[in-house]
Amino acid sequence: MKPMIDRIGGEKQVHLLVNHFYDLIETLPQGRAIMEMHLKGHGLAHVRPEQFDFLCGFFGGRRYYQERHGHMNLREIHAHVEIRRQDAEDWLEVMERAMVDTGVGEGERAEIMQTFRRAAMMLVNTG
């Protein structure tokens, strides 16, 4: 089976997805807490390219994030920020909408969301 990155349309699709996701984060009510987390952390300027780099590798493509940072450990990446279950649910809701809006196929979307849900819930570190 082809890597997920190829199944969804390659790096071009990942760029589209990440940019639309953060456009939604910056405008939807569900994105407010996530934006505030980024503002408390490293700020917003780095977020889009970092998520692109991470997701390319996560989806089975080139591991840009690992090449630059030496790992792809989600817990380590998010260790500096408190994440509530609601934050994880909000992230998942906005990401699913971004995938729908950018044309990620239903089968691929379901597979990705299952993996994203496990990862997001693993990052919850506060009540």
Per-residue pLDDT, averaged over 116-127, amounts to: 95
pTM for the complete prediction? 0.94
CB 120 within 8 A of CB 91: yes
Q: Can you tell me the mean pLDDT for 42-52?
A: 86
pLDDT band at 17 (very low <50, low <70, confident <90, very high): very high
User: 92 burial class (0-12, 13-18, 19+ CB within 10 angstroms)?
Assistant: middle
pLDDT, mean of residues 87-116 = 98
Number of Cβ atoms within 10 Å of the Cβ of 104? 22
Q: What is the pLDDT of residue 37?
A: 85
